Amino acid sequence: MSGTGAPSRKVPQIVDARIAIVTAQWHQEISDALLSGAQRACRQAGVTQVQVERVAGSFELPLAAQVLLDSGFDAVVVLGLVLRGETPHFDYICDGVTRGVMDVMLKSGRPIGFGVLMCDTLAQAQARAGLPGSSEDKGFEATVAVLEMLQLQSSLLQ
């Protein structure tokens, strides 16, 4: 299981951060669970300036992240699920989303939490989405990663 060996992490307090959470609309049960985990991490961090946006699908996440960062957000968390089907479409979307998000993050110099599940089965996604009975909560984890990066940037740029 992918969660094996995961570090124990404390949620940093970043109360003055402006964070956008953008989620794909496909697989709404999974996306909503990921969103719930992301919002919970923001609450635990004391972040009060959180904006949620929904886009059509995972392919739209990189551009949405860029627009949100360009509009002044300190960080973005992207959430969604790409579920393997019968064609190579899965591979192209996964690669495009991953590369797109990385490009936006490096170009902007601001963190993007990557909570996009890329699974072979719906059961795999359910196990990672933070639903009741899930073994992992990738929405929460992606948001904590963003908060940690904001904390790192703040400590190094002072």
What's the N-to-C CA distance of the chain in angstroms? 39
Q: Which of 9, 43, 89, 107 is catalytic?
A: 89
Q: How many helices (H) and strands (E) does the chain have?
A: 5, 4
Quick one: which H or E segment has residue 13? none
Task: In whole angstroms, give the CA distance from residue 38 to residue 21.
Answer: 8
The CA distance from 58 to 97, in Å, is 7
Angle of the 28-45 helix axis to the 138-156 helix axis, nearest 10: 40
Q: Is 89 annotated in the active site?
A: yes
Contact criterion met (CB below 8 Å) for 17 and 156: no
Residues labelled catalytic: 89
